[in-house]
């Protein structure tokens, strides 16, 4: 019983600390003094109703950790892994703006035998948000699609490495994801067949990632911007000036 109570206490303490912060009017300059306790009470009711374990990102007592996720398809001749690289930001005055958009990273590896793949010699291809949208468009129309990259474009080694990613519908069903890479005159070709179900999962991931690769999720993640004026109470909202 004591261990159970200790566990309950460890779960509730972060929630209590967050509720105390919510009761501080300085944390909510856009709200009136009367609104702050109402919002805290509403928050407390939601936390009581929640039965799932508290997520790590909502616990201020724990240090933040990096999260890695990927989806890998294993086939007889090759494997394909799909990962995501988050956008990077730079500080501008009191805010942030994107310095580099996010990327969907495709990794190809050849098979060395049953359930063995040579990831040490993997070939990679990064898809931008626009290229992910082009993949979705090609899939919708069941069309072929190619993308070409030069990792050293604009640098001293421009042209020394060329990469081509190809998306091809299979003659009967399914698709082929392929990469052709040329480095110092040595071509490498890896192709992985993808079933219709696997492709459905990939396209769902792409659709989820598109606005996030551009940072739009972070744009709406902060506190809402509320314009307050003395004569605005009860007035109808005005249209945006653009």
Q: Where are the domains of the chain?
A: 2-27+34-58, 70-219
Find out whether 164 and 188 touch, Cβ atoms under 8 Å: no
Cα dihedral 230, 232, 233, 236, rounded to 10, equals 170
Domain 70-219 has CATH 2.30.31.10: yes
Q: How far is CA 237 from the centre of its chain?
A: 33
Q: Retrieve residue 63's tokens.
A: 């240090």
* pLDDT band with cut points at 50, 70 and 90 for residue 21: low
Q: Retrieve residue 6's tokens.
A: 């200790």
Distance set, CA 119 to CA 80, 107, 113, 124, 167 (Å): 10, 9, 13, 10, 21
Average pLDDT over residues 125-151: 95
For tokens 């969907």, the residue is 104
pTM: 0.67
Range of lowest pLDDT (32-41, 135-144, 169-178, 183-192): 32-41
Q: Retrieve residue 226's tokens.
A: 């509320």
- Using CA of residue 20, residue 25, residue 31, residue 36, what is the dihedral sign? positive
* pLDDT band with cut points at 50, 70 and 90 for residue 228: low
pLDDT per position as a tens digit, 81-133: 999 999 988 888 888 888 899 999 999 999 999 889 999 999 999 999 999 99
Cα dihedral 17, 19, 225, 26, rounded to 10, equals -70
Listed in sequence order, the residues at least 6 apart from 46 whose beta carbon sits closer than 8 Å to its beta carbon are none
């Amino acid at each position: 019983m004591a261990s159970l109570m200790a566990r309950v206490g460890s779960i509730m303490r972060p929630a209590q600390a967050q509720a105390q912060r919510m009761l501080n009017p300085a944390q909510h300059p856009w709200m009136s003094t009367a609104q702050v306790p109402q919002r805290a009470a509403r928050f407390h009711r939601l936390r009581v109703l929640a039965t799932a374990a508290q997520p790590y990102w909502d616990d201020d007592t724990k240090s933040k950790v990096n999260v890695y996720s990927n989806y890998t398809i294993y086939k007889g001749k090759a494997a394909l892994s799909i990962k995501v690289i988050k956008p990077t930001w730079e500080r501008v005055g009191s805010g942030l703006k994107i310095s580099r958009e996010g990327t969907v990273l495709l990794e190809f590896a050849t098979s060395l035998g049953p359930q063995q793949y040579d990831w040490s010699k993997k070939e990679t291809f990064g898809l931008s948000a626009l290229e992910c949208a082009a993949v979705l468009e090609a899939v919708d129309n069941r069309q072929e699609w190619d993308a070409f990259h030069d990792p050293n474009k604009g640098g001293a080694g421009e042209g020394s490495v060329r990469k081509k990613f190809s998306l091809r519908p299979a003659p009967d069903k399914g698709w082929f994801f392929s990469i052709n890479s040329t480095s110092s005159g040595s071509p490498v070709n890896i192709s992985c067949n993808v079933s219709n179900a696997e492709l459905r999962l990939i396209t769902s991931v792409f659709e989820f990632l598109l606005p996030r690769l551009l940072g739009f999720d972070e744009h709406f993640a902060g506190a809402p911007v509320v314009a307050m004026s003395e004569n605005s109470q009860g007035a109808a909202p005005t249209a945006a000036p653009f």
